[in-house]
Amino acid sequence: MASREVDRQRTFHDPRDLTPFRGVRVSSPVPGPFGRFGREPAAPRLRRFPARVERSVYDAVFRAREPERLVVLARSYPGWSGLCYVMAGLIAYRAHQHAQAAELLRRGLAGQNELAASQFAADYLSAWRQGVEVSEGVSVEVLFSEEAVCLALAHSLREIGHPRDALAALRPLPPSLPASLAACRLAEILGKPADVVSWTEGLTNRDDLAAALLILRARALRSLGRRGEAFVAVREVTRRRRTSLGLRRAALTERALLALGVGRRAQLGEAYDGAARPGAKRTKDAEVRELWLRDFERLTGERPE
């Protein structure tokens, strides 16, 4: 049974027609020249005669890109504190400052947003794209949304060694493959393979996120000793031809680990004629010791105790 640390099973079935997810990237040994998801989109045009706070937040987000400036604005304008802290956390996350990002994102989720701040987000942040790592080597591009914030917070908490808090950060999110992949990776870290198996039941390889989830499922099944089902999960990863090369390599590695375990059992069976004999090694040791005692007694005339 899955653990009850989450309110419901972290399912991968997403019933929505539109989601904030815009791309998946599996990391390669040689990164691209423009980062994980290419060039950042151009900043939107600032409307004419904006309010002072609006211009200040716009400059901090799209020009300076410094979390500290947004923190100052959050303290100066309490009605904008939620948005300012969230954007400061996302900018810190992009710079891989995970401890700072986790603290700022938490403050942002607990902060306040007046109507002007919500209108700013609707006017200027609709094209904001955030690359978030949901599992080692697998990242998704997410539009500005609660899912972008919570996934970035979960990754930052995972990086600084708080997987339980990271799993709790995913709790408000609707079902989706990225959220499921992040939750399963955290369950693996926490040593809960049964949760991973439960949350991935019935999954097929329809894209790279699903393939990454199937690899986690194969690992969990192997740790539970269910090698036959683990082989099925690995075969599903390699079935789709367009599966990322990095994920196919991970699946082949997992298949090799499974084969080594099964092969070792087969060799033991052949050595013992299909039946294990636990006392065989002990009998051999006793025979060697008896021979040694006889030689010692012949040479010295005494038999040791």
pLDDT band at 298 (very low <50, low <70, confident <90, very high): low
**Average of per-residue pLDDT across 101-108:** 97
Residue 283: the pLDDT is 61
pTM of the model: 0.80
Query: What mean pLDDT comes out for the span 130-149?
Result: 95
52-76 pLDDT, tens digit each: 999 999 999 999 999 999 999 999 9
C-alpha closest to that of 215 among 173, 248, 175: 248
For residues 2 and 198, the answer to whether their CB atoms sit within 8 Å is yes
pLDDT of residue 290: 72
Largest Cα span, the chain: 111
Which has more confidence, 270 or 214? 214
The per-residue pLDDT for range 230-252, each reduced to its tens digit, is 999 999 999 999 999 999 999 99
143 contacts 22 by C-beta, under 8 angstroms? yes
Which of 36-50, 117-131, 233-247 has the least mean pLDDT?
Answer: 36-50
Angle (nearest 5°) at CA 59 between 54 and 65: 130
Higher pLDDT, 36 or 263: 36
Q: What share of the chain in percent tops pLDDT 70?
A: 79
Task: Count Cβ atoms within 10 A of the Cβ of residue 137 and give its class: 0-12 exposed, 13-18 middle, 19 or more buried.
Answer: middle
CA-nearest of 68, 181, 57 to 116 is: 57
At residue 127 the predicted structure's pLDDT band, cuts being 50, 70 and 90, is confident
pLDDT at 295: 67
